[in-house]
Structure 1
Amino acid sequence: MDLATCTYQEFTPPMGAPIRTTAGHPRFPLAYELAGHARLITPTRELLAQNLPKDAYEFSYRRLLNGQGIHRIHAELAGLAARTGAARLVLLCFDRYDRLKPPNDWCHREFFAKWWLEQTGEEIPELGARSATPPPALF
C-alpha cells in the first residue's frame, strides 16, 4: 500500500487520494473532494484538548495507535485504497511543520509515519511542508 502525508493546504489531486486524519473537517473551502476519513489514526478530541508538549503528545498518540493495532489500521487504510482505486492515499492534516526546525514544528502525521515504519518497514513520505534547502554553512 502506498501512503504519503501532506497538509490540506498543500495537497493537489495528482498526489493521490486525499484522506482526512483530523478530528474535524476543514473549515475552509478545498479545491478537491476528500476521498475518505482514516478514523483509526485520527487523534481524539480529548488528546487534542490536552495541549501536550511534543514528547507527551507523541507518547499518547502512539498509545492510541497501539490500542487500535496495526492489523485494524492496515485493514482500514486498505479498504480506503480499494474504495478510491487510487495508487496512493495521502493522509491529510492542517498543521504545517518544518522538519529542519524541530522540536517546535510537529504534527501527528509525523508520529504516524514513524510508527508505521516501525510496524511495517514501509516509509511514508511527506509531500508538503518542504523546507527550502538550508543555506550553506559559513566558515
Structure 2
Amino acid sequence: MPNTRRSDCPLSCFLDEWGDKWTFLILRDLLSGPRKFSGFLESAEPLPTNLLSNRLVKLVEGGYAIKIQYQERPKRFEYEITDKGRSLVPIMQAMIGWAETHLDSVAAAPAGLTAVEAKPVKAKPASAKPAAQKKPKQTNETPTAPSQGAFDF
C-alpha cells in the first residue's frame, strides 16, 4: 500500500488516518456493542451507504474493528470494536469535553464515552524504553528571543 501521508508530523499522520467526519462516529456507535450494517444506518447522523462501507473496510483493515459473519446465505456480517479501537476513547472524550465547553447546545456524551463508562485502555509497560532524544545542534549564532508558544515560525 503506498504511503499517503502528507508529512511525518505526528499530528498530520493522525489527521491522515482520522481526519474525516465519519470514522469517529462509526467508532462511537461500535462502543455500544456489535452492530450490523443496517444498525449504522439508524444512527443520528445520516451516512451514505458507500461511505459507510468504505469506512468500515478502513476500520477493519486498520485493526480498529473486526468483521464477524453471522449468516451464511446471504452472507451477512456485524462489526465489533477492538482494543485498538477502544484505545481512541480518551481522544474522543477530549473532543466531547471540548465541544461541551466551547459549543452551544450540545447533547450529553453518548454511552461509552463518559469517564466512568469507558473501559480502561492498556498503558505501555513500565519497562518500555523512552524515545531517544535528539541533542541540540551547536551553532555559532547569537541566541534569539525565547519562544512565545507552539506556533512560533
- Short-chain TM bin: under 0.3
User: TM-score when scaled to structure 1?
Assistant: 0.26
The structure that has the greater radius of gyration is: 2
Asked which structure has the greater RCO (Cα within 8 Å, sep 6+), the reply is: 1
Q: Give the TM-score taking structure 2 as reference length.
A: 0.25
